């Protein structure tokens, strides 16, 4: 199942523990509609993960804020860390391979190389 996200709930969703895949989509794009079908089908095979979508037409500010320039764009977060972001659509087997790769990530090593940014007080 894919949940819809807006600017109000995006940060909480992507900073949650676990793997969160976010499809930035728009109904105006044929490739976006095609990837939405793939994304939703893959979600059915991985019920332990969070699959979410952002309608770029309804949330253009959010899309711009996170650097999305075209739809579809897939972003994947693991334990609050952005580990993948690419525009364009992927076939289902590629999304499954991506998920397997992200499941196998050594997050301690990822955090050592890409530490959290320090926020000013």
17 three-state secondary structure? coil
pLDDT < 70 positions in the chain: 116-121
Q: Answer yes or no: are the C-beta atoms of 54 and 33 closer than 8 Å.
A: no
pTM more than 0.75:
yes
**Residues 4-18 pLDDT 10s:** 999 999 999 999 999
Q: Was domain 2-90 assigned CATH 1.20.1250.20?
A: no
From the list 15, 10, 81, the residue with the least C-alpha distance to 52 is 10
Q: Which runs of consecutive H residues, i.e. helices, occur in the chain? A: 10-14, 30-45, 60-65, 92-103, 107-113
């Amino acid at each position: 199942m894919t949940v819809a996200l807006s600017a109000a709930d995006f940060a909480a969703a992507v900073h949650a523990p676990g793997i969160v895949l976010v499809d930035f989509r728009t109904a105006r794009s044929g490739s976006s509609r095609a990837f939405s079908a793939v994304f939703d089908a893959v979600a059915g095979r991985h019920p332990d993960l969070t699959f979410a979508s952002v309608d770029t037409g309804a949330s253009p500010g959010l899309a711009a804020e996170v650097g999305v320039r075209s739809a579809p764009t897939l972003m994947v977060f693991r334990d609050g860390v952005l580990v993948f972001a690419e525009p364009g659509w992927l076939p289902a087997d590629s999304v499954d391979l991506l998920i397997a790769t992200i499941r196998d990530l050594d997050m301690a090593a990822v955090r050592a190389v890409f530490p959290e940014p320090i926020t000013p007080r």
